[in-house]
Chain A
Amino acid sequence: MGAKVVTITSGKGGVGKTTTTANVGVALAKLEQKVIMIDADIGLRNLDIVMGMESRIVYDLVDVVEGRCKLRQAMIKHKQFPELYLIPAAQSRDKTAVSPADMIQLTDQLRADCDYILIDSPAGIERGFRNAIAPADEVMVVTNPEVSAVRDADRIIGLLEANHKGQGQLIINRLKPEAVRRKEMLSPEDITDILGIQIIGIVPEDENVVPSSNTGVPVTLMEHSKAGAAFRDIARRLMGETVPFASMDESGGLFKRIARLFGGS
């Protein structure tokens, strides 16, 4: 019994790991799950900003690991969702301040108290990445529909396999259906053709994402946002629900192809 530890990682930077962590965290909280988010990007912390919780940080992950505070004291409660917590990264330290064993120990202490622990991994394949995946029960690999991001995702999946973490599940972020139709952008099929892993979410490009990250209100909370809806779907799939992949354009062309990809109706 206890929480499921889900790590969000990508290899390449800037593909949307932190945005995904924030939005899936909020979406799970909306579904009445108790969620603890951990920002493992020590030295480049961001999740607190995207969550609008920056001003309330007193203690951070490194303070917990080095025993300067109790675990509880580093958990910041979200104002709107009382069962959503954030453990922020330290900003003035680096990845070596925490070890994979520390992360396992920390999450083990939290498992009994919540349903999901989401870990926002730093970019790269070094120490920070190893810290983030060490305690993971499941891994979500975020990529963008471009060759370099897919190449890095492939590397990450190989490392997950080598670390006995399974292959992970794929999130394709910032997909533009029109661009795919014009064959200017990789399609979900092109991406799975290389990576060969299960897709857990396809998030369309959405101009609401950047302003929402800047204001600290994750886009999931905007009912009309297409990206927000896609993140809510990911949360439900994470909880084991079968959610069909939403149509992303009026003509339904892409939808049909995606549906075929999953053997859906």
Chain B
Amino acid sequence: MRENTVAIKGNKDGLLVTLSPTEEWLSVTTDLAARLDQGQQFFSGARVTLDVGTRPVRKDELSSVKALLERRGMTLWAITSESITTIESAIALDLRTASPNATQPKRTDDLMPAAPTDEDSTSGIMIRRTLRSGRAVRSQGHVIIYGDVNPGAEIIAVGDVIVWGRLRGNVHAGANGDSTAVVCALDMTPTQLRIAGFIAMSPPDKRHKPKPEVASVRDGRIVVEAWG
């Protein structure tokens, strides 16, 4: 085992596990498993905050670490990272997220905790950039995108979705079955649009003039009309 790829410390919230941001992911997770197995009695039941530094960790990678911890009686509770990819993975898995460096105002909009709150329909995330193909944003509340949603990107929100830009990817509002949820965009040409259990597709490429529109469910189908 290489040294320094994994550091485990106790903190007030439980355990702080820091993984080397540069070593190969597979070897880091293998080292982590080995370290935990050495002290299994000691670690069992702990709530873990994982610090991955600048490493971009994909959702499936993060979810396998989560499983690795759970198999040893621990709970993955929060993620600390400077990588937007990692933060998005954490949001997708409904984990708490935090930036290690509180003086990074540029990114704070990405770092909102995604944990469900009791104040239904008041929470949400705001993302100030374009979502490119392959990006998925999931939220227990609303999602606001200040940028475009490109084809191949995906938004799934329990609440409403507002896109201050062009919506061309997939979007699902009211994902837990709330058919009063709405989707708004400055240019509404999603690949597929869902509200609760209803599905609509954009008509094939007509040369349209972009205009702000809002989609909602009325009389059992999705209707799109001028916004405002």
Size of B's binding interface in residues, CB under 8 A: 19
Cβ–Cβ contact B152 & A162, under 8 A: no
Given contacts A154-B132, A158-B135, 6 further A-B contacts (CB under 8 A): A125-B134, A154-B150, A155-B134, A158-B134, A159-B56, A164-B54
Question: How many contacting A-B pairs (Cβ < 8 A)?
Answer: 45
Enumerate chain B residues within 8 angstroms of A125, measured Cβ to Cβ: 134
Cβ–Cβ contact A162 & B85, under 8 A: yes
Cβ–Cβ contact B133 & A155, under 8 A: yes
Interface residues of B in 100-158 (CB under 8 A from A): 130-135, 148, 150-152
Cβ–Cβ contact B83 & A162, under 8 A: yes
Enumerate chain B residues within 8 angstroms of A73, measured Cβ to Cβ: none
Q: Which 4 A-B pairs have the closest CB atoms?
A: A158-B132, A162-B85, A154-B133, A155-B134
A179 CA to B83 CA, complexed, in Å? 41
Q: Which residue of the partner chain, among A101, A154, A161, A163, contacts B152 with CB atoms under 8 Å?
A: A154
Cβ–Cβ contact B84 & A161, under 8 A: yes
User: Is B23 located at the chain interface by the 8 A CB criterion?
Assistant: yes
Q: Is the interface of A mostly helix, strand, loop or mixed?
A: helix
Q: What are the interface flags for A195-237 relative to B under an 8 Å C-beta threshold, 1 for contact and 0 otherwise?
A: 0100000000000000000000000000000000000000000
Asked if A101 meets B151 with Cβ closer than 8 Å, knowing A151-B133, A158-B132, A162-B85, the reply is no
Q: What are the interface flags for A66-100 relative to B under an 8 Å C-beta threshold, 1 for contact and 0 otherwise?
A: 00000000000000000000000000000000011
User: Is A157 located at the chain interface by the 8 A CB criterion?
Assistant: yes
User: Is B11 located at the chain interface by the 8 A CB criterion?
Assistant: no
Interface residues of A in 118-162 (CB under 8 A from B): 125, 151-152, 154-155, 157-159, 161-162
User: Is B22 located at the chain interface by the 8 A CB criterion?
Assistant: yes
User: Is B24 located at the chain interface by the 8 A CB criterion?
Assistant: yes
A59 CA to B130 CA, complexed, in Å? 43
A125 CA to B84 CA, complexed, in Å? 17
Enumerate chain B residues within 8 angstroms of A194, measured Cβ to Cβ: 150-151, 168
Instruction: Output the least CB separation between A186 and chain B (Å).
Output: 12
Q: What is the chain A residue whose CB lies nearest that of B55? A: A163
Q: What are the interface flags for B142-181 relative to A under an 8 Å C-beta threshold, 1 for contact and 0 otherwise?
A: 0000001011100000000000000010000000000000
Cβ–Cβ contact B54 & A158, under 8 A: no
A155 CA to B58 CA, complexed, in Å? 14
Enumerate chain B residues within 8 angstroms of A159, measured Cβ to Cβ: 56, 85, 134
Q: What is the chain A residue whose CB lies nearest that of B27? A: A99
Instruction: Output the least CB separation between B181 and chain A (Å).
Output: 26
Q: What is the chain A residue whose CB lies nearest that of B148? A: A196
Enumerate chain A residues within 8 angstroms of B84, measured Cβ to Cβ: 161-162
Instruction: Output the least CB separation between A99 and chain B (Å).
Output: 5
Cβ–Cβ contact B152 & A196, under 8 A: no
Interface residues of B in 72-115 (CB under 8 A from A): 83-85
Enumerate chain B residues within 8 angstroms of A164, measured Cβ to Cβ: 54
Instruction: Output the least CB separation between A231 and chain B (Å).
Output: 27
Interface residues of B in 15-57 (CB under 8 A from A): 22-24, 54, 56
